[in-house]
A = this chain, B = another copy of it.
Amino acid sequence: MGRGKIAIQRIEKSTSRQVTFCKRRNGLVKKTRELSILCDAEVGLIVFSCTGRLYEYSNTR
């Protein structure tokens, strides 16, 4: 996706890594929520950034 294809390996440039982290984390949460709703599943997602910050998502019943 995007303007060019990227290899799946650690992004070395820290500013790029930070931007990608933010974008993909948002995308992942969205997909996780969609799976939960579409398929009536219970889900939990936990992400710790490399700087130690926590992000999480779960559906509640």
CB A6 to nearest CB in B, in angstroms, measures 8
CB A46 to nearest CB in B, in angstroms, measures 4
The answer, yes or no, to whether A3 is at the interface (CB within 8 Å) is no
Q: Which of B35, B37, B45, B49 contacts A39 (CB 8 A)?
A: B49
Interface size, A (range): 20 to 34
A45-B44, A45-B45 given as contacts; is B50 within 8 A of A38 (CB)?
no
Task: Point out residues on A near B: beta carbons under 8 Å.
Answer: 6, 8-11, 17, 20-21, 24-25, 27-28, 31-32, 34-35, 37-50
- 8 cross-chain pairs, A with B, having the tightest CB-CB distances, nearest first: A21-B39, A40-B50, A42-B48, A44-B46, A24-B35, A43-B47, A41-B49, A10-B40
